[in-house]
Structure 1
Amino acid sequence: MKRIFLVLFVLSCLWSNAQTKVSGVVVDEKGDPVAFANVLFKNSSQGTITNDNGRFYMESDETYTTLIISFIGYNTLELPLPSKINYDLKVVLLESSEQLDEVVVYMGKQSKKNNPAIDILKKIWAKKRENGVSKFKQYQYDKYEKVEFDLNTIDSALIKSKLFRGMEFVFEDLDTSRITGKTYLPIFLNETFSKVYGDNKMVETKEDILGNKNSGFSDNQALIAFVKDLYSEYNIYDNYLKFFDKSFTSPLSKTGVDTYNYVLADSAFIGNKWCYNIIYYPRRKNELTFKGDFWVNDTTFAIKKINLEVTRSANINWVKDIYIEQEFEVLNDSVFLLKRDYMLSDFSLSKKEKARGVYGKRTTVYNNYMFDIPKPRDFYKADANQFDPSVFEKEDSFWSDNRLEALNKDEKGIYQLLDTLKTVPKFKTIYNAVSILNSGYVEIDKWNVDIGSVFGAFGYNEAEGVRLRAGARTYFGQNDPWRLEGYTAYGFSDRKFKHGFSAKWLVDKKSRLILSGGNRRDVEQLGLSLTATNDVLGRSIASSSVLTVGSNNRLTNINLSAFFTEMEPITNFRIGIGATYRELSSALPDAFSLDYVDPSSPTGISSEVKQFDVNALLIYTPGKRTIGYGVERRNINDNYSTLLFSYTKGIEGVMNSDFDYNKLQFSYSQPWQLGWGRLLSTVEFGKTFGEVPLGLLNVIPGNQTLFSIYNTFPNLDFYEFVTDTYAAVHLEHNFNGRLFSRIPFMRKLNLREIVGLRGAWGDLSDANIALSSPTNIPLMAPTDKIYWEYSLGVGNIFRILRIDFNFRGNYLENPNARPFSVTGSFGFSF
Structure 2
Amino acid sequence: MNHLFSCAPRQTALLLSWLLFFSSMTTRAQTTVTGTIIDGANNQPLPFANIVFVGTTIGTTSNEQGVYNLVATGNFTKITVSFIGYQSVTKTITPGTTQQLTIRLEADSHLLNEVVIHRGKQERYRNKNNPAVELIRNVISHKEQNQIGHYAYAAYEEYDKLQFSLSSLSSNVSKRKIFQKYRFLLDNRDTLTLPGKSLLPVYLEEKISEYYYRKSPQKEKVLTKGTKRVDFGQFFDSNGLSLYLNRMYSKVDIYSNSIFLMTNQFLSPIASSAPTFYQYFLADTITIGQTKLIGLNFVPRNASDMLFKGKMYVTLDSNFAVQRINLSINPKINLNWVRDLQIRLQFEPNTDGRYYLSKSDLLADFGVSKGKGGGIFGQRTLSYRNYKTDDARPDAFYEGQQQVVATDAASQPDQFWKDNRHDTLSRAESKVYTNIDSLKRMPSFRRTMETFTFLLAGYKSFGPFEIGPANTFYSFNPIEGFRLRVGGRTTPELSKRYYAETYAAYGFKDQRWKYFLSGTYSLNNKSIYKFPQNYVRASFQRDTKIPGQELQFVQEDNFLLSFKRGVNDKWLYNDTWRIDYVHEFENHFSYSIGFKNWQQSPAGALQFKRIGDDENTPTPTLTTSEFSLETRWAPNEQFYQGKIYRVPIANRYPVFTLRFTAGIKGLLQSQYNYQNLTASISKRVFLSQLGYSTVTVQGGYILGQVPFPLLNIHRANQTYAYQINSYNLMNFLEFVSDHYASVSIDHSFNGFFFNKIPLFKKLKWREAISFKALYGGLRSENDPAQHPSLYQFPVDALGVPYTYTLNKTPYIEASAGIANVLKFFRIDLVKRLNYLDHPNVSQWGIRTRATFDF
Superposition TM-score, scaled by structure 2 size: 0.82
Change (3 A) 1:110 1:86: farther
Uncovered stretches (5+) of structure 2, i.e. residues with no partner: 1-30, 38-44, 105-115, 796-800
Residue number among 450, 457, 474 corresponding to 2:490 in the alignment: 474
Q: Hey, what does 1:551 align to over in structure 2?
A: 567
Contact 1:295 1:306 in 2 (8 A): yes
In the TM superposition, residue 748 of structure 1 has moved relative to its aligned partner by: 0.8
Alignment partner of 1:81: what SS? strand
**For each residue in 1:511-566, what CA deviation from the matched residue of structure 2 results, as whole angstroms up to 9, or x when unmatched?**
8643233222211223135xx99x9xx84368972221111122221222222223
Instruction: Please report how far the alpha carbon of residue 360 of structure 1 lies from its aligned counterpart in structure 2 after TM superposition.
Output: 1.8
Please list the CA deviations of residues 418-465 of structure 1 after superposition, one character each: whole Å capped at 9, or x if unmatched.
Answer: 234335554334433444444333333xx2333322233332211122
SS at match of 1:332: coil
Q: Deviations over 1:382-405 (max 9, x none)?
A: 3766594x3322211221222222
Measure how far apart 1:344 and its partner are: 1.6
> Equivalent residues in 2 for 1:666-815 (5 A)?
666-675=679-688, 676-770=690-784, 771-777=789-795, 778=801, 779-815=803-839
Amino acid at match of 1:829: D
**339, 348, 358: which is aligned to 2:358?**
339
User: Matched residue of 1:176: which SS?
Assistant: coil
Match of 2:600 among 546, 561, 584: 584
- 1:527 equivalent in structure 2: 548
> Could you tell me which of 81, 98, 104 is aligned with 2:90?
81
TM superposition shift of 1:311: 2.0
Answer whether contact 1:36 1:281 (CA < 8 A) is retained.
no
1:668-720 alpha-carbon deviations (Å, 9 max, x no partner):
11111112111011111111011111111101222111010012111110111
Bigger mean CA deviation after superposition, 685-694 or 316-325 = 316-325
Cα distance change of structure 1 residues 138 and 132 upon mapping to structure 2, 3 Å threshold: same
d(CA) in 2 for partners of 1:350 and 1:825?
A: 23
Among 295, 302, 313, the alignment partner of 2:321 is: 302
For 1:6, the equivalent position in structure 2 comes to: none
Maintained 8 Å contact 1:460/1:544: no
- What are the equivalent positions in structure 2 for 1:307-346 lying under 5 Å apart? 307-346=326-365
1:116-135 → structure 2 map (5 Å cutoff): 116-135=131-150
* Cα distance in 2 between the residues matched to 1:318 and 1:419: 29
Judge conservation of contact 1:40–1:69 (CA < 8 Å) in 2: no
The question of 1:652 aligning with 2:665 is answered yes
Partner of residue 507 from structure 1, selected from 509, 523, 528: 523
Distance verdict in 2 for CA 1:428–1:166, change over 3 Å: same
Give the superposition deviation at 1:733: 0.5
Alignment of 1:538-617 (within 5 A): 539-540=555-556, 545-568=561-584, 571-588=587-604, 591-595=605-609, 607-617=620-630
Superposed counterparts of 1:391-430, under 5 Å: 391-430=409-448
Tell me which moved more, 168-177 or 325-334.
168-177
Residue among 387, 400, 412 paired with 1:369 = 387
Q: Match of 2:99?
A: 90
- Aligned equivalents of 2:559, 2:89: Cα separation in 1: 69
Q: What residue number does 2:221 align with?
A: 206
Query: What is the Cα deviation at residue 488 of structure 1?
Result: 2.6
- With 394-403 and 540-549 compared, the bigger mean Cα shift is at 540-549
How does 1:136-285 map onto structure 2 within 5 Å?
136-156=151-171, 158-159=173-174, 164=179, 166-176=181-191, 178=193, 181-217=196-232, 219=234, 220-221=236-237, 223-269=241-287, 273-285=291-303
Higher relative contact order (CA 8 A, sep 6+): 2
Conserved? CA contact 1:478–1:630, under 8 Å: no
Contact map agreement 1:504 1:631 (CA 8 A) in 2: no
- Structure 1 gaps of 5+ residues are 1-22, 59-63, 71-75, 96-100
Give me the whole-angstrom Cα distance separating, in 1, the residues matched to 2:852 and 2:644.
28
- Is the contact between residue 728 and residue 760 of structure 1 (CA under 8 Å) also seen in structure 2? yes
Q: Single out whichever of 626-635 and 734-743 deviates more from structure 2.
A: 626-635
* Paired residue type of 2:99: K
Q: Secondary structure at the match of 2:356?
A: strand
TM-score of the aligned structures, taking structure 1 as reference length: 0.84
Contact between 1:596 and 1:775, CA under 8 Å: does it hold in 2?
no
**Overall identity of the aligned pairs, in %:** 26
Question: What amino acid is the match of 1:343?
Answer: L
The 2-side partners of 1:818 and 1:269 are apart by 70
Which deviates more, 127-136 or 377-386? 377-386
Q: What do residues 330-356 of structure 1 show as CA deviations (whole Å, max 9, x unaligned)?
A: 1124322222221122222112x1231
* Distance in 1, Cα, partners of 2:36 & 2:708: 73
The answer to whether the 8 A contact 2:158-2:208 is kept is: yes
Change (3 A) 1:542 1:638: farther
- Between the aligned partners of 1:48 and 1:426, the Cα distance in structure 2 is 39
Matching residue of 1:38 = 49
Distance 1:370 1:28, change over 3 A: closer
- Structure 1 distance, partners of 2:406, 2:456, is 25
Closer, same or farther: CA 698–306 of 1 in aligned 2, 3 Å: same
Tell me if structure 2 keeps the 8 A contact 1:77–1:93: no
- Deviation, 1:829, is 2.3
1:246-273: per-residue Cα shift (whole Å, max 9, x none)? 1111112222222222111122245753
Describe the SS at the equivalent of 1:344.
strand
- Counterpart CA distance in 2 for 1:631 and 1:745 is 40
Q: Using the TM superposition, name which of 451-460 and 275-284 deviates more.
A: 451-460
Count how many residue pairs are aligned between Structure 1 and Structure 2. 777
Q: Which amino acid aligns with 1:81?
A: T
For the Cα contact (< 8 Å) 1:596–1:607, is it kept in 2?
no
Instruction: Report the CA distance between 1:788 and its aligned residue.
Output: 0.6
Shift of 1:144: 1.8
Q: What amino acid is the match of 1:555? A: W
Supply the AA of the counterpart residue of 1:582. W
2:34 equivalent among 22, 26, 38? 26
